[in-house]
């Protein structure tokens, strides 16, 4: 019986990470109808923030403070990912409003750039980038204003960005000659985050032995859920978000600043991705490809849960997480040895992580045949759902 609880507990932990990761995606999708393919990369940013915070605590601060680094990393990861998401919304997604498929492609482009950025960023690279961006922004200020009202202004704009970009590349490659600047910060290899001591042990609850890290993840998820739920239900901005989700045009007419609501929601959704990134570092080593491993699962959660209620996201994420863990680990066979022969063969066939995914996704497609809009569909009377 212990084994059963053990399996369920581990599945619950995996599902909790999925809840955290999919929560932000679901809120944003419900509000703006935007699928953010870079969501996984925002998680990755959260994970790398944890790594950086840990290294700072190791190198600079007294050893006694090390155990609490993860509590510092959590809000920082939220801020870093949230700001990255805000930038993405302001520069890209806002321009593509009402064109969800184009948004999907654009955010995929962003995710590729972020992945490669983490792999190849070095001091030289970062300095070159900052110089290029700052120079590019400053060019219009230091050139005659008349230049920017001409027929050839678009050419000038493009040209100035190309030139500043080249200047950045030149600076980066000149600095890259120096060894100090050329060292990549993270490189393409996976990074390991050492969990603080108090998260390394395990706690016995009744018959079940619970690893503290996973318990922490579950607790974190519960807290995050409560906070998000409080924010959406009780706060003024939460009410505005819900209003815009239900009927954007009407909210706009009634004076709700929909653009601000969009930006705020995107910030919060991205920040939650960052928090999920912190949780992922506790489960094992992470790398630039982290996003790709989670993103499709998160989409499945959104599709299965529907966008009407938070409960849909939670149920769907826990369901997918637990089911794929229970099937994939093959522990069903150990729990129930006296299984009939035919069933036994089927379960063995699916008892690897990748084959469990096959089964879970197939089940989701079947489920969508019965309820095409997910567990908790948004109610409405429109032709187009």
Burial 305-327 (b: 16+ CB within 10 A, else e): bbbbbbebbbbbbbbbbbbbbbb
For residue 23, the minimal CB distance to another protein (Å) is: 17
Find the part of the chain contacting another protein (CB under 8 A) among 54-62, 111-119, 229-237, 239-247. 111-119
379 makes contact with another protein (CB under 8 A): no
Q: State the Cα–Cα distance between residues 356 and 347, nearest whole angstrom.
A: 9
Residue 55 vs 150, nearer CB to another protein: 150
The DSSP code for 149 is G
Residues in contact with another protein, counted by CB under 8 A, come to a total of: 54
Residue 198 vs 349, nearer CB to another protein: 349
Residue 65 vs 365, nearer CB to another protein: 365
Q: Which two tokens stand for residue 17?
A: 């990470």
For residue 357, the minimal CB distance to another protein (Å) is: 5
For residue 4, the minimal CB distance to another protein (Å) is: 26
Instruction: Name residue, tokens 């989409």.
Output: 299
Q: Which two tokens stand for residue 373?
A: 């809009």
104 makes contact with another protein (CB under 8 A): yes
Residue 42 vs 278, nearer CB to another protein: 42
Residue 25 vs 218, nearer CB to another protein: 25
92 makes contact with another protein (CB under 8 A): yes
The DSSP code for 216 is H
Query: Which residue in 181, 206, 249, 217 sits closest to 18, CA to CA?
Result: 217
Of residues 327-356, which lie at the interface with another protein (CB under 8 A)?
Answer: 352, 354-355
Contact string (CB under 8 A) for another protein, positions 260-299, x = contact: --------------------------------x---x--x
- Give the other-Cβ count within 10 Å of 156's Cβ: 15
Residue 249 vs 354, nearer CB to another protein: 354
Of residues 6-35, which lie at the interface with another protein (CB under 8 A)?
Answer: 29, 33, 35
Q: State the Cα–Cα distance between residues 267 and 272, nearest whole angstrom.
A: 9
Q: State the Cα–Cα distance between residues 305 and 374, nearest whole angstrom.
A: 5
Contact criterion met (CB below 8 Å) for 87 and 93:
no
Contact criterion met (CB below 8 Å) for 283 and 218:
no
Residue 152 vs 337, nearer CB to another protein: 152
Residues in the chain, how many? 385
195 makes contact with another protein (CB under 8 A): no
Q: State the Cα–Cα distance between residues 102 and 295, nearest whole angstrom.
A: 18
For residue 29, the minimal CB distance to another protein (Å) is: 8
For residue 266, the minimal CB distance to another protein (Å) is: 16
Residue 75 vs 372, nearer CB to another protein: 372
Of residues 128-167, which lie at the interface with another protein (CB under 8 A)?
Answer: 149-155
β-strand partners of 202: 211
Phi/psi at 377 (nearest 5 deg)? Answer: -70, 155
Strands, E, within 1-94: which ranges? none
Strand, helix or coil for residue 337 = coil
List interacting residues with another protein (CB under 8 A). Answer: 29, 33, 35, 92, 95-96, 98-106, 108-113, 115-117, 119-120, 149-155, 292, 296, 299-300, 302-303, 352, 354-355, 357-358, 361-362, 364-365, 368-369, 372, 383-385
């Amino acid at each position: 019986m212990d084994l059963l609880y053990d399996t369920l507990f581990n599945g619950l932990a995996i599902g909790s990470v999925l809840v955290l990761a999919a929560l932000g995606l679901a809120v944003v999708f419900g509000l703006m109808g935007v699928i953010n393919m870079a969501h996984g990369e925002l998680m990755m940013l959260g994970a790398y923030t944890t790594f950086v915070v840990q290294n700072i605590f190791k190198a600079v601060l007294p050893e006694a403070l090390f155990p609490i680094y993860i509590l510092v990393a959590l809000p920082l990861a939220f801020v870093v990912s949230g700001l990255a998401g805000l930038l993405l919304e302001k520069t890209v997604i806002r321009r593509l409003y009402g064109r969800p498929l184009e948004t999907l492609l654009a955010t995929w482009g962003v995710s590729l750039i972020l992945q490669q950025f983490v792999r190849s960023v070095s001091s030289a690279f970062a300095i070159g980038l900052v110089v290029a961006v700052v120079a590019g922004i400053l060019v219009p200020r230091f050139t005659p204003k008349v230049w920017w009202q001409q027929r050839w202004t678009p050419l000038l704009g493009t040209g100035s960005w190309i030139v500043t970009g080249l200047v950045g590349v030149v600076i980066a490659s000149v600095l890259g000659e120096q060894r100090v600047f050329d060292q990549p910060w993270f490189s393409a290899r996976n990074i390991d985050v050492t969990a603080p001591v108090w998260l390394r042990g395990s706690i016995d609850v009744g018959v079940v032995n619970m690893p503290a890290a996973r318990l922490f993840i579950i607790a974190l998820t519960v807290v995050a859920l409560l906070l998000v739920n409080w924010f959406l239900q009780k706060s003024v901005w939460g009410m505005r978000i819900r209003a815009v989700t239900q009927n954007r045009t009407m909210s706009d007419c009634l004076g709700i600043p929909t653009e601000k609501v969009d930006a705020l929601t995107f910030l919060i959704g991205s920040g939650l991705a960052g928090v999920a990134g912190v949780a992922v570092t506790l489960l094992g080593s992470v790398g630039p490809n982290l996003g790709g491993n989670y993103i499709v699962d998160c989409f499945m959660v959104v599709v299965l849960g529907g966008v009407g209620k938070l409960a849909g996201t939670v149920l769907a994420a826990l369901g997918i997480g637990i089911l794929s863990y229970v099937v994939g680990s093959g522990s069903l066979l150990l729990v129930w040895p006296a299984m009939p022969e035919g069933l036994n063969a089927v379960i063995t066939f699916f008892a690897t992580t990748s084959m469990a995914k096959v089964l879970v996704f197939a089940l989701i497609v079947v489920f969508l045949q019965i309820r095409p809009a997910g567990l908790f569909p948004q109610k409405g009377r429109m032709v187009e759902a």
